[in-house]
Amino acid sequence: MHPDVDGREPDDASTRHTPVLLERCLELLAPALEAPGAVMVDSTLGMGGHTEAVLARFPHVRVIGLDRDPQALALAGRRLAPFGERFTPVHAIYDEILDVLDSLGIPAVQGVLMDLGVSSLQLDETERGFSYSQDAPLDMRMDATVGQTAADVLNTYDVRDLTRILREYGEERFAQRIARRIVAQRETAPLARTGELVDILRASIPAATRKTGGNPAKRTFQALRIEVNGELEVLERALPASIEALAVGGRIVVEAYHSLEDRLVKRALAVGATSSAPPGLPVEPETHRPFLRLVTRGAEEADELERERNPRSQSVRLRAAERLRDTPDHLRDRGAPRRSS
């Protein structure tokens, strides 16, 4: 790794990353983390900014930090070393939260924090291929040791599948045009670099469209990243698992950065915060009462000051909920995983 352009060493995580909505996250987690012996799971550790703040603000709290990216774990581990045994890093995807807690002998936790999407580290490391602003290998894997790359997707998916992921995950209205050009281009030579993909996008999207709405490459790069890492499938499994990991009185706080993520979060929290009793019953049965309480009114956004200070906060949508009681069996059986004994 090379020093950053301003001379900072690349392992100095504290100067490379500004956590999004940090104070609001701490405020929302505080009522749960003030419990004696509280444990929090940072499901998307990244460079450890949120976890560092939690460990500093709540001196008795232990944090289990999950990340699928070995490089992020190494950077965060150095940053958080002063907290000793209060921090436990784990190489895992966050839908594995229950297995991780079982392996550590932790029956339930008081807090779960998810800061979704691509991390600052992954965007900053040019060779990871997440950024459309610099030429790099078409990789985009959050864990660069396993799985298919963006190049694999671009060079093997047919027009229909490419169109589907660009349309569904990138909300790209020129998806089919882009997909056809990708397939035509790879007949000459396989795509290997982000610069080649940007050239295809520039040729596929009308000039008038390219002048408005930000860089049009953002949509395709987002779609490929989501596909390569199975992000929505992971999130759909992780949300009920994370709720199941919470002790009564525990809180889950989730920061999403695009509508596809936020929709899944909203739906999962709404299931827990809504009565499951059939309509028209004169008395609501205890087993059908909500097991979550929403602690944010809709999705909260960053204010203008934060958006200016931290560009990554531009699109954030924050939601939070508190566990009121155990998940009813009839709901757990329909999707929420059961804790192993």
Specify binding-site residues for S-adenosyl-L-methionine: 48-50, 67, 94, 115, 122
CB atoms within 10 A of CB 248: 12
Cα-atom radius of gyration of the chain, to the nearest Å? 21
Measure Cα distances from 186 to 47, 56, 173, 201, 236 in Å. Answer: 36, 51, 22, 14, 33
Nearest to 140 by CA among 202, 216, 221, 212: 221
For the record, the structure tokens of 133 come out as: 């602003």
Write the DSSP symbol of residue 58. -
Nearest to 152 by CA among 136, 130, 169, 137: 137
For the record, the structure tokens of 300 come out as: 């909260």
d(CA 315, CA 132) in angstroms, rounded, equals 18
CB atoms within 10 A of CB 234: 18
Annotated binding-site residue numbers: 48-50, 67, 94, 115, 122
In terms of Cβ atoms closer than 10 Å to its own Cβ (0-12, 13-18, 19+), residue 143 is middle
3-state secondary structure (DSSP) of residue 133: coil
d(CA 272, CA 322) in angstroms, rounded, equals 10
Contact between 140 and 183 under an 8 Å Cβ cutoff? The reply is no
d(CA 333, CA 180) in angstroms, rounded, equals 43
Write the DSSP symbol of residue 127. G
